[in-house]
């Protein structure tokens, strides 16, 4: 058996960590990067420079790969359809990538009986106002395509803000939902083989500030029955859409039950804890899944695992304080070799412990030792990130 070649479109930190996981499996990784300074170019077997938005580039890149996968979902699914029509193995497929479009996802899930919040897909202020008048203000408006880390998500207090937002978006589609009373935000990371076998990781509790995930705790501090239902729902979603590799299913716990918030058809921030905290990391299981190899054990290796993201400031690079962070007992530091920018995710710290509070305290201590804040800078009065001035 010759070493399989996995092509990764995108060269960010997710591709970098996937390439690192490939080493012990003797899997060759080829990365399609926009810039040779991208993080994954430091760890992959080979890389090419090109624009993944151009079909000719994708097609040429795919020729040297047994399987093509992604470190983000910002590739046009229609281009992926074309690759598949040529007989190329692409996981996730164009059909799965379409579920990154929140409007498509909400409509499809509602039709399939998968629980989602009440919603309307709007392109005009009148449609947003009508929904708000029926369901009550404030409402949450989410740009259908392209939003992440709080970008493209807007809380609207009334008709005037709806008019302002929709005027700025110029007829772009938005998904409008009620402002839910959320008891907890959780994530279930599922790994699925192309032949259909599926495993799931323990439920993760995510803590968000301004739409950015700042901390994760595993296992989640929710009722075990709710955790079982969340796991079953996530596996149902993965099977329903035909996911391959890793699928992260983000859920809201509400008084009325569980509802699906978002999907990520790739390794995900809520699964970073698995590198040190699970028998098999999400990155290794992503490779196993897209290659249709047996999936690895997803069990915890400690009673509790916590991860805290390292968020950039304009003042300094956290690598300057790395030795101090490495001195924190039980903490493992991951820096992504990204250019420093305020609010940007530059890395994460994971710690294990006998209970969640201990693990979280260790991870937070290492982040503070890096000299960066535990929460992102305020986004107040920045309309692109959800607050309309």
Out of 265-269, 363-367, 371-375, least confident range? 371-375
Q: Tell me: pLDDT of 146 over 80.
A: no
How far apart CA 44 and CA 40 sit, in angstroms, is: 6
How far apart CA 61 and CA 38 sit, in angstroms, is: 17
pLDDT band at 162 (very low <50, low <70, confident <90, very high): very high
How far apart CA 119 and CA 336 sit, in angstroms, is: 37
* Whole-number pLDDT of residue 379: 46
pLDDT band at 382 (very low <50, low <70, confident <90, very high): very low
Q: Tell me: pLDDT of 289 over 50.
A: yes
* Whole-number pLDDT of residue 238: 98
* Whole-number pLDDT of residue 57: 97
Q: Tell me: pLDDT of 148 over 90.
A: no
Out of 142-156, 322-336, 343-357, least confident range? 142-156
pTM over 0.85: yes
How far apart CA 337 and CA 16 sit, in angstroms, is: 10
Q: Tell me: pLDDT of 227 over 80.
A: yes
pLDDT > 70: what percent of the chain? Answer: 95
How far apart CA 267 and CA 285 sit, in angstroms, is: 9
Q: Tell me: pLDDT of 139 over 90.
A: yes
* Whole-number pLDDT of residue 74: 85
pLDDT tens for 102-113 read: 999 999 999 999
Stretch 135-150: mean pLDDT? 86
* Whole-number pLDDT of residue 378: 52
Q: Tell me: pLDDT of 381 over 80.
A: no
pLDDT band at 342 (very low <50, low <70, confident <90, very high): confident
Q: Tell me: pLDDT of 87 over 90.
A: yes
* Whole-number pLDDT of residue 350: 98
Residue from 22, 79, 63, 13 nearest 45 by CA: 22
**Alpha-carbon radius of gyration of the chain:** 20
Domains in the chain, ordered, with CATH?
Answer: 5-90 (3.40.50.20), 118-179 (3.30.1490.20), 182-369 (3.30.470.20)
Residue 31's DSSP bridge partners are 8, 47
Stretch 363-377: mean pLDDT? 90
In this structure, what DSSP letter does residue 293 have? P
How far apart CA 251 and CA 203 sit, in angstroms, is: 10
How far apart CA 369 and CA 386 sit, in angstroms, is: 30
Q: Tell me: pLDDT of 118 over 60.
A: yes
Stretch 322-351: mean pLDDT? 94
Q: Kindly give, in sequence order, each residue whose CB lies less than 8 Å from that of residue 101, ignoring residues fewer than 6 positions away.
A: 144, 145
* Whole-number pLDDT of residue 343: 84
Residue from 284, 328, 302 nearest 219 by CA: 302
pLDDT band at 92 (very low <50, low <70, confident <90, very high): very high
* Whole-number pLDDT of residue 375: 80
Stretch 12-18: mean pLDDT? 96
């Amino acid at each position: 058996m010759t070493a399989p070649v996995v092509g990764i479109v995108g060269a960010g930190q997710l591709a970098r960590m996937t390439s690192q996981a490939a080493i012990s499996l003797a899997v060759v990784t080829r990365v399609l990067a926009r810039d040779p300074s991208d993080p994954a170019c430091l760890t992959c077997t080979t890389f090419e420079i090109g624009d993944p938005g151009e079909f000719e580039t994708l097609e040429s890149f795919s020729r040297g790969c047994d399987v093509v996968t992604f470190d983000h979902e910002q590739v046009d699914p229609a281009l992926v359809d074309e690759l598949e029509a040529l007989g190329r193995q692409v996981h996730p497929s164009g059909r799965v990538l379409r579920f990154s479009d929140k409007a498509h996802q909400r409509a499809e899930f509602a039709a399939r009986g998968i629980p989602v919040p009440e919603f309307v897909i709007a392109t005009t202020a009148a449609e947003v106002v009508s929904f708000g008048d029926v369901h009550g203000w404030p409402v949450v408006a989410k740009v259908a395509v392209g939003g992440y880390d709080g970008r493209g998500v807007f809380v609207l207090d009334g008709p005037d803000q709806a008019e302002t937002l929709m005027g700025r978006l110029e007829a772009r589609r938005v998904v409008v939902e009620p402002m839910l009373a959320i008891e907890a935000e959780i994530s279930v990371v599922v790994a699925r083989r192309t032949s259909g076998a599926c495993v799931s990781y323990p439920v993760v509790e995510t803590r968000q500030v301004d739409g950015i995930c700042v901390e994760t705790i595993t296992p989640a501090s929710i009722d075990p029955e709710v955790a079982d239902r969340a796991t079953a729902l996530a596996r149902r979603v993965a099977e329903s859409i035909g996911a391959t590799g890793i699928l992260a299913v983000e859920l809201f716990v509400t008084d009325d039950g569980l509802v699906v918030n978002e999907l990520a058809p790739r390794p995900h921030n809520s699964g970073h804890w698995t590198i040190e905290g699970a028998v098999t990391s999400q990155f290794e299981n992503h490779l196993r899944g897209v290659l249709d190899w047996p999936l690895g054990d997803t069990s915890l290796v400690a009673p509790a695992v916590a991860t805290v993201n390292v968020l950039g400031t304009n003042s300094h690079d956290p690598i300057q304080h790395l030795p101090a962070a490495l001195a924190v007992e039980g903490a493992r530091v991951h820096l992504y070799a990204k250019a420093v920018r305020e609010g940007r995710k530059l890395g994460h710290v994971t710690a294990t412990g006998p209970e969640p509070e201990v693990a979280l305290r260790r991870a937070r201590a290492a982040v503070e030792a890096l000299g960066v804040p535990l929460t992102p800078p305020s986004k107040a009065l920045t309309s692109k990130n959800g607050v309309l001035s």
